[in-house]
Amino acid sequence: MENFIPHARIERLLDRRADSGRVREILQKSRRLERLGLEEAAELMAVEDPQLLQEIFEAARDVKDSIYGSRLVLFAPLYISNLCRNDCAYCAFRVSNRAVKRRALTMDEIRAETEYLLRTGQKRVLLVSGEAYPRNGLDYVLDAIATVYSARDGKNAIRRLNVNIAPLDVEDFRRLKEAQIGTYQIFQETYHEPTYRELHTMGPKADYLYRLYAIDRAFAGGLDDVGVGILFGLYDYRYEVLALLSHIEHLEAVFGMGPHTISVPRLEPAEGAPLASRPPHPVSDADFKKVIAVLRLAVPYTGIILSTRETPEMRRAAFDLGVSQISAGSRTNPGGYSDEGACEQFSLGDHRSLDEVVRDICEHGYLPSFCTSCYRLGRVGLDFMEYAKPGDIREKCLPNALFTFEEYLIDYASEETRAVGRALMERKLAEVPESIRLEVNRTLARIRAGERDLFM
């Protein structure tokens, strides 16, 4: 295996200075929903002028609206274990952290955690585990997946389960696909190889190349949807963005498609990991907004995920910059939903409940969505990209988001959120194309009559 991240090329691109005329040409290309090259992304990353930055932000908002409309997909992480063999300098779960109470949930505890999430109205879950398991390796994870899918709260069940676990070999990725997961998610953390090796000193994660090729093996194992990400704060954010885009270019060249999602967490304090409180390369709020906007413009058809690491204020700002998925009501420790649980992996910036987040989204004119229709109908991988790249996925997203939001308003919303949500629903129904409006209204009537899990 070779490191396909073009280190020298990226270093040269970091010396670029932004040219306003060239930047505006690139923004016009982005508004046509065309993929940007590395040099074009570097040109945008070099912008410091406030007026030009505002033009980048406006273009990102327009591109996001063209593809996804005003919807925001909601999910919650479900941590099943903090057992780990790695010694990542920034993580509370690091094997050398003796202050951490180690815990791997039993299947009964996993079911209890899932039922808690279901009682709040969640329908999408990201299963997360430290990179060690209490028994039989992947079998523990597969049992956990089956347990999550089997949990119920009345008519409500988890409809899409994404997975963030240690990289696997091709055969184990095939087993993961058979478990009917949604997206397999893994972060390189930092693409800068010297920094990576300095921060990962023990355990299987110390192998930079094995982790770098994890998505290749996932595709080879038959998985359709994958998610990538960077932990911003470990190295120069400009380098990381260009390296991430290089990774995507590699995947598109080899497999004909890139990731389904990109996650953009920033380093936050973590118990027993002093580095996390003193990021080597901190990313300011202003620079973080630029990162999100440039990623939206560079890969317009890829989902961007923002976690509850960020404050409510930053999350609201990110809605306008291209974020399409957010977590809500999150806990980052095993057992954290149904009891106090063990040590958190990192500190949270947004402690609000799902209902509070949903209401806030509505008040800012965005449509909360728990939609899983693409996954259920096989619109994944290359099929999804065929809808997403020209912007056609929006016509699928709007009605399906309305269906899942109607379920939430009926079954789980507080009175205050229900009132705000109803007003939003009326406005969004007016945006439904005339050609499908009758079908959408009929489906909503079926949901109000008691049917669930309807999609188109």
The two structure tokens encoding residue 40: 């074009």
Pair 416, 307 in one domain: no
CA–CA dist 121, 163 (Å, integer): 20
Pair 434, 290 in one domain: no
Residue 42 included in any domain:
no
What is the pLDDT, as a whole number, of residue 242?
A: 98
Structure confidence by residue, pLDDT tens digits, 292-305: 999 999 999 999 99
Pair 405, 364 in one domain: no
Structure confidence by residue, pLDDT tens digits, 224-266: 999 999 999 999 999 999 999 999 999 999 999 999 999 999 9
Structure confidence by residue, pLDDT tens digits, 51-84: 999 999 999 999 999 888 899 999 999 999 999 9
Pair 331, 407 in one domain: no
Pair 362, 426 in one domain: no
pLDDT > 90 in the chain, percent: 86
Alpha helices in 299-340 (DSSP H): 312-319
The backbone torsions φ and ψ at residue 340, rounded to the nearest 5 degrees and listed phi first, read: -70, -30
pLDDT > 70 in the chain, percent: 96
Pair 167, 311 in one domain: yes
Residue 43 included in any domain:
no
Pair 441, 325 in one domain: no
Q: Are 324 and 65 in contact (CB under 8 A)?
A: no
What is the pLDDT, as a whole number, of residue 397?
A: 84
What is the pLDDT, as a whole number, of residue 1?
A: 86
Which CATH number characterizes residue 267's domain? 3.20.20.70
Residue 46 included in any domain:
no
Residue 50 included in any domain:
no
Q: Is 326 exposed, middle or buried (0-12, 13-18, 19+ CB in 10 A)?
A: buried
Structure confidence by residue, pLDDT tens digits, 94-107: 999 998 889 999 99
The backbone torsions φ and ψ at residue 79, rounded to the nearest 5 degrees and listed phi first, read: -85, 125
Pair 147, 270 in one domain: yes
What is the pLDDT, as a whole number, of residue 390?
A: 59
Structure confidence by residue, pLDDT tens digits, 190-219: 999 999 999 999 999 999 999 999 999 999
What is the pLDDT, as a whole number, of residue 347?
A: 76
Structural domain ending residue among the three candidates 370, 387, 404: 387
Structure confidence by residue, pLDDT tens digits, 321-335: 999 999 999 998 999
Neighbours of 116 (CB within 10 A): 20
Pair 218, 346 in one domain: yes
DSSP state of 96: T
Residue range of the domain that includes 443: 390-448
Pair 186, 327 in one domain: yes
- The dihedral through the CA atoms of 66, 161, 336, 214 has a sign that is negative
Is pLDDT of 287 > 60?
yes
Length of the chain: 456
Average pLDDT over residues 397-403: 93
Residue 53 included in any domain:
no
pLDDT band at residue 456 under the 50/70/90 scheme: confident
Residue 200 included in any domain:
yes
pTM for this entry: 0.94
Is pLDDT of 345 > 90?
no
Pair 313, 444 in one domain: no
Local structure of 226: helix, strand or coil: strand
What is the pLDDT, as a whole number, of residue 99?
A: 85
Average pLDDT over residues 399-425: 97
Count the domains in the chain.
2
Pair 73, 191 in one domain: yes
Is pLDDT of 343 > 80?
no
Residue 76 included in any domain:
yes
